[in-house]
Amino acid sequence: MNKSIVSLLILSCLLSGCANTGLKEETLTYGGKFTGNHAALARCVVDKLQSDSRYNITGLQYELWSYPDIETTELYGYQLNDVPGVYARNSPNNPDAVGTYYGTPVAKTHVYTKNMGRPPEINPKYSFLLTLKRTDSETVVGTLNGKSYESRIVWEKLHSCGGSS
State residue 85's pLDDT score. 67
From 68, 102, 111, 67, select the one nearest 83 (Cα to Cα): 102
State residue 22's pLDDT score. 55
pLDDT tens digits for 46-59?
999 988 888 888 87
| Residue 159: Cβ-neighbour burial (10 angstroms; 0-12, 13-18, 19+) | middle
The total of other beta-carbon atoms located within 10 Å of residue 140's CB is: 27
Q: At what angle do helices 38-50 and 148-161 cross, to 10 degrees?
A: 120
In order of 26, 53, 130, 142, 153, the CA distances from 31 in angstroms are 17, 25, 10, 6, 14
State residue 117's pLDDT score. 47
Q: Is 43 helix (H, G, I), strand (E, B) or coil?
A: helix
pLDDT tens digits for 100-114?
555 556 556 665 666
pLDDT tens digits for 3-27?
766 666 676 666 565 555 555 678 8
Q: Of 24-33, 35-44, 94-103, which range is least confident?
A: 94-103
